[in-house]
């Protein structure tokens, strides 16, 4: 199903493409990029939270610095031999009333317009399948403490205010990113107050922590997930090749390494990894199209539109 890009998201896309064309070394901040944004809101968030099909896998609830387990809220009703699973939302509702923070994953699955935007975000990266996450917080309750991300992140503030503290960039890594102690965060370099319509692009490996400076805050974060074959996938492929053409017996370790590295650097292996990367990107494009069809049932439109002719 083809979805036209919302004008506000088109503005955000232009900002994002500028960052990709000339990536900032640490971050880029665009105050007031979108005046009074309305493409997503607190009421839209609440509507998704009210969906009876929502499961704990989609939600992260945090109160007073502690994650609130939601698995016990799951119930099921047997209907024609099938278990229909749903959540009792009272725990979620009670904690939010008392000031909790909540994260809703998969916004690009739930919102076709945002999925259309993320499709163009993916297209501007070499090999990506990005995520969109909604963060709602209230004063003195944050969903996460200080941390750094393994990939670049695009943020748009939608409601309330959020104070961001950015710290000296660190080596990009996949482990020990969260939570970070004050000492692990390092030296602060910038503080920003994000207001509705502000956009922010933060590079991978930049430690940051957030604080809700008003009574509430809502922002969307687009995790620009790098799907390029990682070192585990590359070494798995290389090991398979090596097992079919290994070094001569009883060679010293240095010679074995030379043989292995020569295999990895060979044009044939480089071509194989390039082709594998392109296949991952192609699969991501198809998968993004299938996500767009998660809200794509139009066949009943002919029964929902009035067929009556108004007589004068």
pLDDT digits (tens, 9 = 90+) for 31-41: 999 999 999 99
Phi, psi of 248 (to 5 degrees): -60, 155
Q: For residue 208, is pLDDT > 50?
A: yes
- For residues 199-207, average pLDDT: 98
**pTM (2 decimals)?**
0.93
**Shared-domain flag, residues 29 and 143:** yes
The number of distinct structural domains making up the chain is 2
Does residue 306 surpass a pLDDT of 70?
A: no
Based on the domain organization, do 239 and 115 belong to the same domain?
Answer: no
Do 14 and 44 contact (CB within 8 A), yes or no? no
Q: Within a domain: residue 168?
A: yes
Q: Which of 42, 220, 67 is nearest to 143 (CA)?
A: 67
Task: Please name which of 70, 135, 73, 132 lies closest in space to residue 101, comparing C-alpha atoms.
Answer: 135
Looking at the chain, the whole-number percentage of residues with pLDDT higher than 70 is: 97
Which residue, 223, 255, 280, sits at the end of a domain? 223
Reduced to 3 states (helix: H, G, I; strand: E, B; else coil), residue 202 is strand
Distance, in Å, from the CA atom of 21 to the CA atom of 104, rounded to the nearest integer, reads 30
Verify that 80 and 125 share a domain, yes or no: yes
What is the reported pLDDT for 17? Answer: 98
Region 115-123: mean pLDDT is 97
Instruction: Say which CATH number the domain at 93 has.
Output: 2.60.120.650
The answer on 279 and 197 residing in a single domain is no
Per-residue pLDDT at 304: 85
Question: Does 61 score more than 50 pLDDT?
Answer: yes
Q: Which residues, 6+ apart, have CB-to-CB distance to 40 below 8 Å?
A: 107, 111, 114, 134, 158, 220
At 120, the pLDDT band (50, 70, 90 cuts) reads very high
Q: Which is more confident, 293 or 310? A: 293
Question: Are 124 and 239 contained in the same domain?
Answer: no
User: What mean pLDDT comes out for the span 281-289?
Assistant: 97
- Asked if residue 214 and residue 86 are part of one domain, the reply reads yes
Interval 78-97 mean pLDDT = 96
Q: pLDDT for 150-161, tens place per residue?
A: 999 999 999 999
Q: What is the pLDDT of residue 312?
A: 45
Return the closest-CA partner of residue 220 out of 110, 302, 78.
Answer: 110
Residues 188 and 283 in one domain: no
**What residues contact 238, with CB distance under 8 A and at least 6 apart?**
260, 263, 264, 269
Euclidean distance between CA atoms 275 and 272, whole angstroms? 5
End residue of a domain, out of 180, 203, 223: 223
Q: Which is more confidently placed, 309 or 142? A: 142
Question: What is the predicted pLDDT for the residue at 305?
Answer: 74
Same domain, 116 and 43: yes
In this structure, are 171 and 248 located in the same domain? no
Average per-residue pLDDT for the chain: 95
User: Which helix (H) or strand (E) is 29 found in, with range?
Assistant: strand 27-30
**What residue numbers bound the domain in which 102 lies?**
7-223
Q: In this structure, is residue 158 part of a structural domain?
A: yes
- What are the pLDDT digits (tens) for 236-283? 999 999 999 999 999 999 999 999 999 999 999 999 999 999 999 999
Q: What percent of the chain has pLDDT over 90?
A: 94
């Amino acid at each position: 199903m083809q979805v036209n890009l919302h004008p506000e998201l088109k503005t955000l896309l232009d900002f994002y493409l500028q960052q990709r064309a000339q990536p900032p070394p640490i971050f880029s901040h665009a105050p007031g990029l979108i005046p009074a944004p309305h493409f997503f809101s607190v009421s839209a968030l609440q509507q998704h939270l009210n969906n009876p099909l929502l499961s704990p896998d989609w939600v992260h609830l945090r109160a007073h610095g502690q994650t609130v387990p939601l698995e016990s809220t799951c119930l099921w009703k047997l209907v024609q031999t099938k278990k229909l699973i749903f959540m009792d939302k009272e725990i979620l509702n009670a904690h939010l009333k008392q000031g909790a923070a909540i994260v809703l994953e998969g916004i690009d699955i739930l919102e076709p317009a945002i999925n259309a935007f993320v499709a163009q975000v993916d297209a501007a990266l070499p090999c990506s399948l990005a995520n969109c996450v909604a963060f709602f917080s209230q004063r003195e309750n944050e969903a996460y403490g200080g941390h750094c991300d393994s990939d670049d992140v695009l943020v748009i503030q939608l409601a309330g205010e959020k104070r961001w503290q950015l710290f000296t960039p660190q080596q990009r890594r996949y482990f020990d990113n969260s939570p970070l102690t004050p000492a692990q965060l390092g030296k602060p370099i910038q503080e920003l107050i994000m207001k509705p319509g502000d956009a922010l692009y933060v590079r991978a490996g930049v430690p940051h922590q957030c604080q809700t400076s008003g009574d509430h805050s809502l922002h969307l974060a687009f995790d620009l997930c790098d799907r390029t074959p990682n070192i585990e996938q590359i070494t798995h492929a290389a090991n398979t090749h090596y097992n079919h053409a290994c070094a001569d017996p009883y060679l010293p370790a240095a010679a074995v390494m030379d043989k292995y590295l020569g295999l990895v650097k060979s044009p044939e292996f480089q071509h194989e990894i390039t082709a594998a990367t392109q296949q991952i990107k192609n699969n991501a494009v198809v998968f993004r199209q299938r996500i767009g069809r998660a809200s794509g049932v139009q066949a009943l439109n002919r029964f929902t539109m009035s067929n009556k002719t108004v007589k004068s």
